[in-house]
Structure 1
């Protein structure tokens, strides 16, 4: 009997408990808070690694291109995983990964002051506080809020990793699902992320068929959209001044991700990897980590990481180290292979902003 089979009873029990919790919300024995702001939720059924932050950034870039009479001022709301603070917090220039969490800090660096970046583990209370402190905010992107049933979003986007789709997985602890696969029925659209290539029509159809076993029509007989996206990588940028830099030769890759495989494939094919230090997701780096990495990396070798890791690593380096050592991060973004997929997401966002609240299943 395999290890996964041994854990199957525990997975069934865990999934059953979460299904009961969802049923309490579905049948309104427990009510959800309906925000004053228009809320777009980005989340997944899997524990980490589906590309939520690139998806959130994609949405923010799109929202910033729209007429502000439609969107109003924009905000993001994250739990702030890994931070050492609690409660609702609006990001400022003095915040760090310890006070915000690494992903919210990345959002702040990339989008402030055009976007108000906030954190709060109790999302309903955080949205109420946002209404009081920033009444000008009309649109909020909720990061990693798919299981946060205490808030009813106006648009619910479910992400699933192409390399490990939710329909092949099981609930914790036998698998990596946060709830049963049927949780996908709450989605207004599903985005298959981290596709290594543009799926063929046959592959798209096969994946769509598997996903639709767990989703529900958006109304009448109309199936919810299923979109396919990959990751695009920009030119590396120096720690010292964020300027683009050209890298030649193999690199030492440092990651603190739930799933680094797509990044490893890209870096291997582009520059080659001399060494890969794979820390745990949301790893809290220490000065000792930095000293060890620098000591083990030759002066002529680039130490390359992600922006999510850079916001935690850069403050641990001295000014001299940032300026003299070859340390850089690789920006990444979500991209659609087909224009009609991008247009479909834009349409859903427009309907969310203009029309009545979409039914939350």
Structure 2
């Protein structure tokens, strides 16, 4: 891996120059970002996948959706369509993408849309009769044509952006200096054993500006797994021949959690947003019991009819200072609505 990184490093230098120049053009207003007259909150990262954007977006949805008309706008990664599209709970995943469909199925009161052009997406949402008064941009930190009022930047514990390299030698989409645009940085997927000394060390490594706030979060798992027939206790799967099926960027914590519950399983791992082939689906149908992530369940459920298919819900939990984080979100919304 080290030799491969060295071979790719010259291309990362070119990528660095291009992305740095682009950011400087936006920072100098030579390239313009459009600001809208409503609260826009962006959840994103510097790296390619695996930081927990969907659970964080859901966390913010839960904060706001009962008191406001909230919409989410995503690119709809992996969909086979282009342009703007409203997402309904019954849409096929190939037309809207797995994460937007998950939002639409989970939050009935939420407006969900996909559009690779975030300006077009926002402007189309604002023409709706029931137009939103808050828009959450999912995975749009690098889409600088839109100026979000509040940026939440995620970085995973054990894989901090400050320790990574730019594409293609590493996984960063833009230089580390881009993190300065975020009001809040959240270190996700932290272990329960995280110490104050570790927190201090991470804060020093990230080199935050005075105005930025740092939070630490962890993934929590439901005690139940769910299928079309409802929920059952996770430990009830101990008597079954379970196959863990994952198509996410980094399934290691998910796999580790299932193992710690005493469930025996084999693991079929696919790449993030994997499009399952006919042969792969036929192989999966022959299994006794599949346990998967909620995002993968959204894709697999319409395609698998015979096999017992379950998913395990997850949530993000702020380890401390949750009230401060929530207050920053609420304050952003109040200020932007003025």
Taking the TM superposition and a 5 Å limit, the aligned residue runs for 1:1-361 are 2-65=3-66, 68=67, 72-112=68-108, 114-134=109-129, 136-212=131-207, 215-218=208-211, 224-245=212-233, 246-249=236-239, 251-295=242-286, 297=287, 299=288, 302-318=289-305, 321=306, 325-338=307-320, 340=321, 342-356=322-336
Aligned-residue offset at 1:294:
3.3
Aligned-residue offset at 1:121:
0.4
Q: Secondary structure of 2:232's partner?
A: coil
* Separation in 2, partners of 1:108, 1:242: 18
- Quick check: 2:220–2:317 contact (8 Å CA) kept in 1? yes
Distance 1:124 1:7, change over 3 A: same
* Separation in 2, partners of 1:139, 1:100: 21
Give per-residue Cα distances to partners, 1:18-38, cap 9 Å, x unaligned. 010011100000111112331
TM-score in terms of structure 2 length: 0.94
* Separation in 1, partners of 2:249, 2:160: 15
* Separation in 1, partners of 2:89, 2:292: 23
Give per-residue Cα distances to partners, 1:122-149, cap 9 Å, x unaligned. 0011101111124531001110010000
- Quick check: 1:229–1:337 contact (8 Å CA) kept in 2? yes
1:221 is matched with which residue? none
User: For this pair of structures, how many residues does the alignment match?
Assistant: 333
Distance 1:266 1:242, change over 3 A: same
Aligned-residue offset at 1:11:
1.1
- Quick check: 1:78–1:120 contact (8 Å CA) kept in 2? yes
* Separation in 2, partners of 1:134, 1:178: 36
Distance 1:242 1:99, change over 3 A: farther
- Quick check: 1:286–1:316 contact (8 Å CA) kept in 2? no
* Separation in 2, partners of 1:37, 1:355: 9
Q: Secondary structure of 1:253's partner?
A: strand
* Separation in 2, partners of 1:280, 1:273: 22
**Structure 2 residues not aligned, in runs of 5+:** none
Superposition misfits of 4+ residues, deviation over 3 angstroms: 235-238
State the superposition RMSD in angstroms.
Answer: 1.7
* Separation in 2, partners of 1:122, 1:32: 13
- Quick check: 2:38–2:336 contact (8 Å CA) kept in 1? no
Aligned-residue offset at 1:255:
0.2
- Quick check: 2:238–2:263 contact (8 Å CA) kept in 1? no
Give per-residue Cα distances to partners, 1:240-259, cap 9 Å, x unaligned. 32433432256311000111
Give per-residue Cα distances to partners, 1:285-316, cap 9 Å, x unaligned. 23432221232x3x3xx310011011111101
Q: Secondary structure of 2:126's partner?
A: helix
